[in-house]
Amino acid sequence: METIIIGGGLSGLALANALEAEGRDYLLLEARNRFGGRIMTEHHAAGHFDMGPAWFWPGQPRIAALIDQLGFEKFDQYADGDLLFEDDRGHVQRGRGFASMEGSWRLKDGLAAITDTLASKLSGARTRLNAHVKTLTKTSAGITATLSDGGDLTADQAVLALPPRIAAEIAFSPPLPDTAVQAMQNVPTWMAGQAKAIAVYDTAFWRETGLSGDASSRFGPMVEIHDASPADGGPYALFGFIGVPPQGRSDEQLLRQHLLRQLIRMFGPDAAEPAQLYIKDWAFDPHTSTEEDKAPLYAHPSYGLPNAMTGLWDNTLHFAGTEVAPLFGGYIEGALEAAETVFDALENQPDRQ
């Protein structure tokens, strides 16, 4: 086999599709029971609700081109109406201002439509779910991946389409240089410490009272709220980023009670009984987050591929998660950028010329 790709999120899927189009020999391994990685979309009635990344922006050419190629449609984030602010005593104020996500785009069918479609284009013989790589071993025959079920797979090279901190949990033989391991562990995993809640309703009652759905809070548990409704029609939704540290939100039932209380405080009694209340806590997802990722991020990290993570195992070990993208690290555009960079590197290897 030529290439093993470890990680079936957007980056791994994009790379696999590029190799498939070139007739290259590869195998895509995903530890979860689904493809998509941090892209995850819940469905209720005709609505699609993204529990991971939800937005993309003008000036991101790869995701725009992919959406056009696959025949999907984007729409503007809803931003019409007044904003809400909840102070540190739980008092709610209404005012005008700039909705923080105004100008961003969302995908009509949810972002998982992209990863599902990319996965469907691959040969079933070249993909494996529930394939958790525990060990990578470099030998004269190539790189052998040992899975949690004890199976072995060998290829000329391996691509780690994973957050670097998750990749660092793999046992490498021979061990990677300490500088490489330290560099991997120092790269924060984007979104890993976050938790997201989406409350789905039959009507957009906040819009009917002149609210945009955009809100911020210093009381919580959600610190930032936005309209998450579909482009046209219902069901409608509000989603929020939960600002309580991971250690304080492990009791989901208690968290749900506080989420509903906050929605009622901010949006009134119509918010009391959502048709669905989805919660996804990425900090407790073992294929996304490590203990180090449970520390909060207060700014967008400076991403890119550290020099210490290049040239490993005679240039047969590559990194392709969004965190190593040089320009758009942390965004879905970055996942595509990282996949493109690795594909170019594989194409330009001496034995491919």
pLDDT digits (tens, 9 = 90+) for 82-138: 999 999 999 999 997 778 899 999 999 999 999 999 999 999 999 999 999 999 999
Domain membership flag for residue 338 = yes
Distance between CA atoms of residues 287 and 18, nearest Å:
24
Distance between CA atoms of residues 319 and 185, nearest Å:
13
Domain match, 56 and 177 both? no
Domain membership flag for residue 276 = yes
- The parent domain of residue 322 ranges over 1-39+113-187+301-353
Q: What's the total number of domains in the chain?
A: 2
Domain match, 122 and 33 both? yes
pLDDT higher than threshold 50 for residue 208: yes
Domain membership flag for residue 353 = yes
CA count, 13 A, side-chain hemisphere, 132: 11
Domain match, 31 and 47 both? no
Give the dihedral of Cα atoms 228, 230, 234, 237; nearest 10 deg: -10
pLDDT higher than threshold 80 for residue 297: no
Domain match, 58 and 101 both? yes
> Is residue 62 a contact partner of residue 337, using CB atoms and an 8 Å limit?
yes
**Percent share of the chain, pLDDT over 70:** 99
Domain match, 183 and 201 both? no
DSSP letter assigned to residue 351: G
User: Of 38, 42, 37, 63, which is closest to residue 52 (Cα–Cα)?
Assistant: 38
Domain match, 161 and 271 both? no
Domain membership flag for residue 290 = no
- pLDDT-based confidence at residue 299 (cuts at 50, 70, 90): confident
Domain match, 151 and 265 both? no
* Residue 353, pLDDT score: 41
Q: Is 352 helix (H, G, I), strand (E, B) or coil?
A: helix
Please say which residue of 258, 284, 310 terminates a domain: 284
Domain match, 164 and 55 both? no
Whether a cis peptide bond, with omega within 30° of 0, leads into 221 is yes
- pLDDT-based confidence at residue 79 (cuts at 50, 70, 90): very high
Tokens representing 324 are 């190593």
Domain match, 222 and 342 both? no
DSSP string for 254-315: HHHHHHHHHHHHHH-GGGSS-SEEEEEEGGG-TTT--GGGGSPP-S----S--GGGSSTTTT
Domain membership flag for residue 333 = yes
Long-range contacts of 266-274 (CB under 8 A, 24+ apart): 266/84, 266/86, 266/92, 266/215, 266/217, 266/225, 267/84, 267/205, 267/206, 267/211, 267/238, 268/205, 268/209, 270/201, 270/203, 270/205, 271/199, 271/201, 271/205, 271/238, 274/199, 274/200, 274/201
Distance between CA atoms of residues 347 and 318, nearest Å:
13
Domain membership flag for residue 291 = no
Query: For residue 253, which phi and psi values (nearest 5 degrees)?
Result: -65, -45
pLDDT higher than threshold 50 for residue 352: no
pLDDT tens figures, 172-204: 999 999 999 999 999 999 999 999 999 999 999
Query: For residue 157, which phi and psi values (nearest 5 degrees)?
Result: -150, 165
Domain match, 16 and 151 both? yes
Distance between CA atoms of residues 7 and 32, nearest Å:
9
Q: Give one word for 7, left, alpha or beta, with left for phi > 0 and alpha for psi -120 to 50.
A: left
pLDDT higher than threshold 80 for residue 64: yes
Domain membership flag for residue 54 = yes
* Residue 350, pLDDT score: 61
Domain match, 173 and 199 both? no
Please say which residue of 240, 259, 284 terminates a domain: 284
Domain match, 250 and 198 both? yes
119: CATH: 3.50.50.60
User: Of 231, 211, 31, 35, which is closest to residue 122 (Cα–Cα)?
Assistant: 35
279: CATH: 3.90.660.10
Domain membership flag for residue 295 = no
